[in-house]
Structure 1
Amino acid sequence: MSKVPKSPLFFLYHIKESIEAIAIHIQEGKQSFLTNRTVTMAVIRELEIIGEAVNKLPAEFKNNYPLVPWRDIGDFRNVLAHHYWGIDLETVWNIIHNPDKLPDLNNHVKTCIQDLENHSSENPE
């Protein structure tokens, strides 16, 4: 039985949900993120989900959005998943707060979702 490939929308929604979850996890601020293991691990897990979802997006799709650092996001997921002992929490905090990082990805993902939803409503199958 062969698997049916999932639409990029499937993965984009997972990215969007993980970004939203990170925002909830860090509501208590930087100190809570740095000192509360539950918060830290929840954020790291959400970042891993984002990276894994990015890695599952088709190359043709990612090529349509060259301003998004898809490869960097996937590479960061690998660091989080395989080199957890070397994770610098200050770096993670900067990634989730730097406007050019996670907030920027959030904007790009919303654009991608909107583009795909508009395209599918224009071309019903």
Structure 2
Amino acid sequence: MYKEARIYSLLERVENAILLVREQTEHIVAPDDFLNSSSGMFLLGGVCMQLIFIGESIKVLDAKNAGYLVHYPEIPWREIMGLRDVIAHEYHRIDAEEIFSVIKNDFPVLLETVQRMKKEI
């Protein structure tokens, strides 16, 4: 298994990215909040960079620890990695509604799971 310290470090980086996005998007109450101003569009770009970072960290965990992520089936790991690929390679396909949904609906469960994973190391 990949060194536990490295796994912990990757999980901590994912946790910090989630917390940063949540903090910076507290005032976002609808997907249009990203689209209706230049500052909202800039924020959406920053959120997307953090999502790339999260997805890439998950890809590393998956590649270096075959079978590790299956112990946490409540998280759609392949979808996280796929979202990273869409943002990085098909930027024109980014949907503000989907990004908003990820932040508001998916991040709480992901954050809780990542924190549990860290404790279990």
User: Does the C-alpha gap of structure 1 residues 59 and 66 become closer, same or farther in structure 2, counting only changes over 3 Å?
Assistant: farther
Question: Unpaired segments of 5 or more residues in structure 2?
Answer: none
Task: Report the equivalent of 1:38.
Answer: 42
Q: How big is the shift at 1:39?
A: 0.8
How far apart are the structure 2 equivalents of 1:104 and 1:50? 14
Task: Show the counterpart of 1:81.
Answer: 88
- Count of residues in Structure 1 that have an aligned counterpart in Structure 2: 111
Q: Higher relative CO (CA 8 A, sep ≥ 6), structure 1 or 2?
A: 2
Instruction: With the length of structure 2 as denominator, give the TM-score of the two structures.
Output: 0.82
RMSD over equivalenced CA pairs, Å: 1.8
Q: What is the Cα deviation at residue 33 of structure 1?
A: 2.8
How far apart are residue 68 of structure 1 and its match?
A: 2.1
Q: Which of 57, 60, 68 is matched with 1:56 structurally? A: 60
Q: What TM-score do the two structures reach when normalised by structure 1? A: 0.80
Q: What do the CA deviations read for 1:30-59 (whole angstroms, capped 9, x no partner)?
A: 354333222111111111110000000022
CA distance in 2, matches of 1:89, 1:7: 33
The Cα shift of 1:21 comes to 0.7
For 1:59 and 1:66, the matched residues in 2 are separated by: 14
Structure with higher Rg: it is: 1
| Cα pair 1:80 1:87 within 8 Å, conserved | yes
The superposition leaves residues 73-113 of structure 1 with CA deviations (integer Å, 9 ceiling, x where unpaired) of 11110011111111111111011111xx1111001000000
Gaps of 5+ in 1: 117-125
* Structure 1 ranges of 4+ moved more than 3 A: none
Query: Counterparts of 2:69 and 2:6 in 1: how far apart (Å)?
Result: 13
Aligned to 2:20: 21
